[in-house]
């Protein structure tokens, strides 16, 4: 019997926890040294969507963090808290 993959989770509108809570060490337009944890990415639009999505300037790390049930939970607050804990656990 073939293995089934988990369903792909869509981003929660108006969340952007993954664009706020973690640090980004990769350079991006306007931030040659990346983004510190807890600072909203300046490339979020008014609806909290990424203006760099699909563009080559978007840091690779952003595309490597797909939404998941574990990370996103049922609320934006859950996602921010999860990512803050992940950030702390992986900080040098």
**pTM for the structure as a whole:** 0.81
What are the pLDDT digits (tens) for 68-86?
A: 999 999 999 999 999 999 9
Interval 55-67 mean pLDDT? 89
Residue 7: the pLDDT is 56
The whole-angstrom separation of Cα 6 and Cα 72 is: 14
Domain assignments of the chain as residue spans, ordered by start: 17-90
Cβ distance 83 to 90 under 8 Å? no
Cβ distance 57 to 42 under 8 Å? no
How sure is the predictor about 3, in pLDDT bands with cuts at 50, 70 and 90? low
Report helix, strand or coil for 79: helix
Cβ distance 48 to 79 under 8 Å? no
């Amino acid at each position: 019997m073939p293995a089934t993959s988990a369903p792909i989770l869509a981003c929660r509108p108006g969340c952007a926890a993954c664009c706020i809570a973690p640090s980004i060490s990769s350079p991006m337009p306007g931030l040659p040294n990346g983004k510190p944890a807890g600072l909203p990415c300046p490339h979020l639009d008014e609806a909290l969507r990424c203006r760099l999505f699909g563009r080559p300037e978007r840091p690779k790390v952003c595309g490597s963090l797909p939404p998941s049930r574990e990370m996103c939970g049922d609320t934006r607050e859950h996602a921010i808290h999860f990512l803050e804990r992940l950030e702390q656990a992986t900080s040098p």
